[in-house]
Amino acid sequence: MKINGKTTLHGIMGDPVGHSLSPAMHNAAFTKLGLNSVYVPFPVQDVAAALNGFRALHVRGVSVTIPHKQAVIPLLDEIDPMAARIGAVNTLMIDDKSGIKGFNTDWMGANRALSDCLDMKNKKIVLLGAGGAARAIGFGLLETGTEVVLAGRTKKSGEKLARELECDWHSLSDIPALTADGLINATSAGMAPDIDYSPIPAKALKNFPVIMDIVYAPLETRLLREARAAGCRTINGLAMLLYQGVAQFELWTGRDAPLPIMKQQLEAGLDCR
């Protein structure tokens, strides 16, 4: 990578961002395609000041992570309709003339990861969770015409999201009685250090031919391990992480992302943890 006066700047804003795998993934992609661009971490606490700085420094693209995905919205010049529906932005495109436009690529990443194992037309998916990830994935599934059934531990937040998605909500105790084409864990259940926990009883997994988990540390959660043993097709959290980054890269560059090198960088980053 050569940095000079014509290098375009991209990055990720959050607090913290030192753990992010995105710089390695995106910089490898820029290098692979021979693009004079660089991607760096921006530790940000003051969102408004950061956006003004991006404008002043002619930053072209920014990933947005916790805790700023909602806070950036009122400061944007424009927001993509899907990001507005989801109520969260994880990607900024910045133009000197038109300003800052916000997108959400989390739903794109989830849909693409799921479609690797499942033709999503006229399918039914049980979605676990009621937080930001579940919200993005839920609205994304609806875009494909998929029927969504929401499930979780917290009734109040679960029923609230279910009303917005116009779908049914069930408690986790109802899972063994449900059947669907697939199930997605959009919670942190099973994430390190709580790696011995699974939100779904092993005996119920046979009801869902495809199981996807957005957790990527560990890469194979207990849920996925037991799902594989039950004969289900499994999708780990690396897939959604990869594909949301691919969507960002393609928005920023207008080029097809080099998938193999981006995946390789994510895998290498996870191996080092």
Same domain, 224 and 119: yes
C-alpha 143: how far from chain center? 16
| Residue 1 lies inside a defined structural domain of this protein | no
Same domain, 98 and 111: no
pLDDT digits (tens, 9 = 90+) for 234-270: 999 999 999 999 999 999 999 999 999 999 999 999 8
Task: Please tell me the total count of domains within the chain.
Answer: 2
What pLDDT is attached to residue 175? Answer: 97
Mean pLDDT (whole number) for 146-158: 97
What pLDDT is attached to residue 66? Answer: 93
| Residue 24 lies inside a defined structural domain of this protein | yes
What pLDDT is attached to residue 273? Answer: 57
Q: What CATH number has the domain bearing residue 157?
A: 3.40.50.720
What's the token pair of residue 201? 């009883």
Residue 69 is among the residues annotated as catalytic for this protein: yes
Q: Is the dihedral of CA 92, 93, 94, 99 positive or negative?
A: negative
The catalytic position among 2, 6, 69, 160 is 69
Same domain, 98 and 206: no
pLDDT digits (tens, 9 = 90+) for 21-30: 999 999 999 9
pLDDT digits (tens, 9 = 90+) for 225-234: 999 999 999 9
pLDDT digits (tens, 9 = 90+) for 73-87: 999 999 999 999 999
Range of the domain at 127: 107-235
Give the 3-state secondary structure of 102-158: EECCHHHHHHHHHHCCCCCCCCEEEEECCCHHHHHHHHHHHHCCCEEEEEECCHHHH
| Residue 3 lies inside a defined structural domain of this protein | no
One-letter identity of residue 77: D
What pLDDT is attached to residue 272? Answer: 61
| Residue 68 lies inside a defined structural domain of this protein | yes
Same domain, 213 and 253: no
Same domain, 146 and 86: no
Which residues sit opposite 130 in a β-bridge?
Answer: none
pTM above 0.75, yes or no: yes
Same domain, 167 and 146: yes
pLDDT digits (tens, 9 = 90+) for 45-75: 999 999 999 999 999 999 999 999 999 999 9
Mean pLDDT (whole number) for 169-175: 97
| Residue 141 lies inside a defined structural domain of this protein | yes
What pLDDT is attached to residue 188? Answer: 95
Residue 130 phi/psi, 5-degree rounding, is -145, 15
Q: Is the dihedral of CA 239, 241, 247, 253 positive or negative?
A: negative
For the chain, give the percent of residues with pLDDT over 70: 99
Q: What CATH number has the domain bearing residue 48?
A: 3.40.50.10860
CA distance 232 to 154: 27
pLDDT digits (tens, 9 = 90+) for 1-44: 789 999 999 999 999 999 999 999 999 999 999 999 999 999 99
Q: How far apart are the first and last CA of the chain?
A: 25
Same domain, 125 and 223: yes
Nearest 10 degrees: CA dihedral of 203, 166, 141, 210? Answer: 10
Residue 132 pLDDT greater than 90, yes or no? yes
pLDDT digits (tens, 9 = 90+) for 133-143: 999 999 999 99
What pLDDT is attached to residue 271? Answer: 79
